Structure 1
Amino acid sequence: MLHFYLNNQRIRTDQPAGSTLLDFVRYQQHLKGTKIGCREGDCGACTVLVGELQPDGAVQYQSMTSCLTPLGNAHGKHIVTVEGINAAAGKLTPVQQAIVQEGGSQCGFCTVGFVMSLTGHSLSTKSATTETGLAAIDGNICRCTGYKSLERATAVLTEQLAARPAANVVSWLSEQQFVPGYFKEVPRNLQALKAELQNETSNQQPATSHQIVGGGTDLLVQRPEHVREVPVQLVYDQTNLRGIRQDADGRIVLGAATTAENLRASPLMQQLFPRLPEYMKLVSSTPIRNMGTVAGNFVNASPIGDLTIFFLALNATVTVGAPAGPRREIPLHELYSGYKTLTKAADEQVLDIRFTAPQPDDYFNFEKVSKRTHLDIASVNSALWLRTSGGFVQEARLSAGGVGPTPLWLARTSAFLAGKEITPATLAAANEIAQTEISPISDARGTAEYKRLLLRQLMFAHFLQFFPERLNFRELV
C-alpha cells in the first residue's frame, strides 16, 4: 500500500508501484490539469511538484515530470498538481498572472507545466534571479508563443520574489497567494505520515526476481507496461544508497540513488569541479535531473550517457552486489561488454560509485554537442582528466560517447598523451590514434564522418580550454 498526500488530500492506494504518477493523477484521481504530452519527459506538460520531508523538518519541493515518475516514488511525499496551487477559486496565482500579463499562453496545453515549474521555483529557499528562473523552466517546451513572452513572465516573477524572506517562505508565499494556506500544514502532515509508515512493513521486497527502479527516467520510456506489471524494488528513497562523501583515503563515494541534481548541487563536487554547474546544464533538464540517478545513467548503458562519459574520465569504479550480500568493485570502463550489455550479473545492483578526488592542479573538462542545450541527447560527448608539469602531459584519461557501441575510454589515446608536450602536433597525432579507437555509425544524430570530426574538435576544445597560449587555433583547424 502506498501512502502520500496529493494536494490537500491523504492518499492510500494499492495501484502498482511501477505505474506512473501521471496515470494515477489523471485516471484514478481525475485531475486532468496535468497533461499527457510526449510521455518521455521531453515536453514538461505533465510537470508536478514533489515535496519531500527534510531532516530539519522542512519540506523541499522539486519539479518532476509525472509521466516518468514511478507511483511508488510518491510514497511518503506531498504531490502537487495545478489543481492544488490556487488559494481561491477563480483567482490566479502571481505565477499564472505573470504568464497571462506577458502573453505567455496561446493554446494553453503546455502552460500548466510552466506554471508548476515556476511555482516550484517560488517555493525554493534560494535567492530568485533571472538565471534561476530560466533554469526552472528548462524542462518545459512551448510551441506557440516562443520563449520571449515566457522569459518576460519569469522576469516579472523574479521581481516579485525579491521580497521573499529567507525564513518562513511558505507563510509569505501563502500570504501573497502563490500557494494555498494548507501548504503550511504539510510539514506536520508528512511528519505524522512518516511516523505511521515506520510502524508498517515496507512495501518493497528483496531485489531477486524484481525490477530495480531508481528515478524511472529511462525504464518508463522504454518499457512502461513491463514496469507496471512486474514487482519492483524502488531504490530512489533508500537513504543508504543516497549521498556524496569523501572517505579517509581521499576517494569520493556516491550512493547509487544520488540524482544528477544532487550531483550538481553538491558543495563537495563543486569544490572539486568548479565548472560543474556549467557541465550539468547540458545534462537533460531540471525536472529530469531531479529524478534521474547516477547509477541509472550507468546501467542504462547508452553509448552517449552524459554522466557515464563524465565518470569514465575520472577512472571511476562501481560497487555491485546485493545490499546485504557479497560485493565486488568493477572499473566503470569494464562494466560494458557490448551495446546495452553489462558485465554485472542480473541479480547484482549498483550500490555506489567511487573515484579518486582530483588534485588541485589537475585539469578536467566535459564537452557535449547536441542540437539544443536542454533536453537533448548528445551527438558526441567527451571528457578529459589531465595532470601536467611544465607544459608536458604526465597522465591523461580521455572518454568519448556517440562514437561506438558503448561509452568509451580511449585507452591508447590516453597512453599516447602521457609524456608528450602540449603542442598542436601532439594533438594532431593523438587524434589519429583516437580515430582508430572509435567506430561511429550514421544515424539521426549525424553521419559517421561528422561524429569523427566532432570527436576531433572536442579533444582540441579540452586542451584549448586550459592551454590556449600553447595552441594556435589555426593550426588545429
Structure 2
Amino acid sequence: MITFILNNKTIKTSEHSGMTLLDFVRYQQRLTGTKIGCREGDCGACTLLVGTLNGDTIKYQSITSCISPLGNAHGKHIVTVEGTNLKDKLTTAQEAMKANYATQCGFCTPGFVLALTGFALSNSDKNYNNAINAISGNICRCTGYKSIEKAAHQVVEKLENKKETTLDWLIENQFIPEYFQSIPKRLKAIETKDEKQPKGKYISGGTDLYVQQADSLADSEVHLIAKKDFLKGITIKNDICTIGTNSTVSDLWNHKELNNWLPNLRKHLKLVSSEQIRNMASLGGNLVNASPIGDMTIFLLALNSTITILNSEEKERIIPLKNFYQGYKTYDLKEGELLKAIRFKLPSENAFFNFEKVCKRTHLDIASVNAAIHISVENETITKAHVAIGGVAAIPKYLHDTSAFLTEKPLTSKTIVEANKMLQKEIAPISDVRGTSDYKRLLARQLFFAHFTELFPKQFTLNDFVQHA
C-alpha cells in the first residue's frame, strides 16, 4: 500500500507503483492544476514539490511528476499548486506572478508557482540567481520571460536574503498555508520500512526510463530503489570520494566539501538539465542508461572512477568505469546486479579538472558533444591524464590512447595539437539530428582545446592550437 500526504490529505492507494505521479494526481485525485505538457520532464508544467522527512524537519524539492513513479511518493509530502493556496488571498509567489503580468494563457503558471514556492522552502541562499535556477526547468510559450523574472525578483525581495526560512516565517509571510506545520508529525506516523519489492526493472529516479517507457512501466512490475539508504550518501575520506548510486546531481550540487575540492562543480552541473531533473536523476541511473552523451557519465569517466557492483547475494565486485561499457547500450552488468557506489580520487594540488558541453541551446538540452579532462601537471609536464568524450562513439568514450599519449609529455601547444590527432583516431562519430560526423569531429577538437584554454588561460589561447592544427 502506497501511503503519502497529498497536500493536506493522507493518501493510501493500491494503484500500481509504476504509474506516473502526474497521472495519479490528475486522474485519480482530479487535481488538474498540475498540467500535462511534454511528458518528458522538459517543460515544467507538471512541477510538484516533494517533501522528505529528515529528523524533525522536511526538505522540499521540485520535481517533474510526468516522469516520476507513484511508488516514489511513499512516505513523502506531495504538494500541488492547489496545496499552496491560502484562504481568500494569493500566496507570495502567486501574487508576484499576478503583479508582474507574468501569465497569459496560464498553462505554465502552476509550475512556476510551485518552483518559486520550492525556492522559498529550500535552504539555498535567497538570491536572484538561485531563484532563476529554481525556475530553470519551467518553460513559458506565450508570456515572455522578463515579466516572470520580475516576479522571481519580487519573491526574492520578500525573502530579504534569508539563508534559511522556517515554516513559521513562511506561513506568517504568506508563502505557504498553515497546514504545513502539521506535516512533519504526520509523516512520522507513516510506516516507511523498506517493503519487499517485486522482481522487475530497477528504477531509481526514472528520469530517462519514463521518457521512453512511461506507458509500459505503468502496467509492469517495477523494482523501486530510490529509498534504499545503502545506495545513498557522499563521503570523502583520504582524498577519495565515494558516492552512492542513488545520489542525485543535486546532492553533488549541495555538497559543500565536494564543492571545495571541485570549485567549478556547480558551473559544470548547471549544464546538466534543469533543477527539477537534477533533484530526481540518480547517478547510477545515468551510468546504466549508457547514453553515449550522458553528461555525468563523461564527467565520472574523466575522474577515472571505479564502480562497485552488487549482486542478489550481496557479493560485490569493483571495476573501472572505463571498462564498463561494451557496445551501444550494453555493459558489464549481469542479471540481478545493480550499481552500489562510484569512487574516484579527488584532484590534488597539481591536478586540474574541466567539463565542456555543446548543444543546440546552452541549458536544458542534450549534448551534441560533451567532454571532460582530468590532468596532473608538475614542472610543466603532464604526469597524469584522463580524457573522456561523448557523442562521438556508440558508447560514452574514455580515450585510452589520447590519455596515454598526454602522460609524461610537456604541457605545450605542440603536445596538445598532437594529442588531438590521436583523439581523432579514437572517435567514430555518426551523422544524426545533432550534427554531421564532420561537425562532431570539429566540436571534439574545439572542446579538447577548450579544456586547456580554460584551465591554463595565461598559457594558451585558442589561436595557439588552431594555427598548428
TM tier relative to shorter chain = over 0.9
1:349 to 335, 338, 341: 338
CA contact (8 A) 2:125 2:161 kept: no
How does the TM-score come out when normalised to structure 2? 0.97
- Bigger mean CA offset, 405-414 vs 265-274: 265-274
User: Is structure 2 residue 70 aligned with structure 1 residue 71?
Assistant: yes
Q: In the aligned structure 1, how far is the partner of 2:174 from the partner of 2:313? A: 48
**One-letter amino acid of the structure 2 residue matched with residue 205 of structure 1:** Q
Q: In the aligned structure 2, how far is the partner of 1:181 from the partner of 1:372? A: 41
- Residue 100 (structure 1) shift: 1.3
Count of paired positions? 466
> 1:240-262 deviations in whole A, cap 9, x for unaligned?
110001245x4221111001100
**One-letter amino acid of the structure 2 residue matched with residue 174 of structure 1:** I
Q: What corresponds to 2:244 in structure 1?
A: 255
- Residue 16 (structure 1) shift: 0.9
- Bigger mean CA offset, 334-343 vs 37-46: 334-343
**One-letter amino acid of the structure 2 residue matched with residue 405 of structure 1:** A
1:223 to 191, 213, 217: 213
Cα separation, partners in 2 of 1:455 and 1:15, compared to 1, 3 Å: same
User: Is structure 2 residue 378 aligned with structure 1 residue 389?
Assistant: yes
1:460 to 419, 442, 449: 449
Q: In the aligned structure 2, how far is the partner of 1:47 from the partner of 1:39? A: 11
Q: In the aligned structure 1, how far is the partner of 2:433 from the partner of 2:350? A: 39
Q: In the aligned structure 2, how far is the partner of 1:282 from the partner of 1:472? A: 23
Residue identity over aligned pairs, in percent, reads: 49
- Aligned to 1:469, the other structure's residue is in SS state coil
**One-letter amino acid of the structure 1 residue matched with residue 282 of structure 2:** T
- Aligned to 2:246, the other structure's residue is in SS state coil
User: Is structure 2 residue 330 aligned with structure 1 residue 338?
Assistant: no
Q: In the aligned structure 1, how far is the partner of 2:461 from the partner of 2:150? A: 41
- Aligned to 2:252, the other structure's residue is in SS state helix
Q: What corresponds to 2:169 in structure 1?
A: 172
- Aligned to 1:62, the other structure's residue is in SS state strand
User: Is structure 2 residue 202 aligned with structure 1 residue 204?
Assistant: no
Q: What corresponds to 1:367 in structure 2?
A: 356
Residue segments in structure 2 that go unaligned for 5+ positions in a row: none
**One-letter amino acid of the structure 1 residue matched with residue 59 of structure 2:** Q
Aligned 1:64-103 pairs, distance under 5 A: 64-89=63-88, 91-103=89-101
CA contact (8 A) 1:424 1:472 kept: no
Q: What corresponds to 1:31 in structure 2?
A: 31
- Bigger mean CA offset, 365-374 vs 293-302: 365-374
- Bigger mean CA offset, 31-40 vs 183-192: 183-192
> 1:280-302 deviations in whole A, cap 9, x for unaligned?
00000100000000000000000
CA contact (8 A) 2:197 2:224 kept: no
CA contact (8 A) 2:312 2:337 kept: no
Cα separation, partners in 2 of 1:102 and 1:322, compared to 1, 3 Å: same
- Residue 409 (structure 1) shift: 0.5
How does the TM-score come out when normalised to structure 1? 0.95
Q: In the aligned structure 1, how far is the partner of 2:283 from the partner of 2:161? A: 36
- Residue 62 (structure 1) shift: 0.2
- Aligned to 1:253, the other structure's residue is in SS state strand
Residue segments in structure 1 that go unaligned for 5+ positions in a row: none
CA contact (8 A) 1:215 1:296 kept: yes
CA contact (8 A) 2:104 2:143 kept: yes
Q: Aligned Cα RMSD in Å?
A: 1.4
Q: What corresponds to 1:8 in structure 2?
A: 8
- Residue 164 (structure 1) shift: 5.1
**One-letter amino acid of the structure 2 residue matched with residue 225 of structure 1:** D
User: Is structure 2 residue 130 aligned with structure 1 residue 141?
Assistant: no
**One-letter amino acid of the structure 2 residue matched with residue 271 of structure 1:** N
Cα separation, partners in 2 of 1:327 and 1:165, compared to 1, 3 Å: closer
CA contact (8 A) 1:385 1:398 kept: yes
2:178 to 132, 156, 181: 181
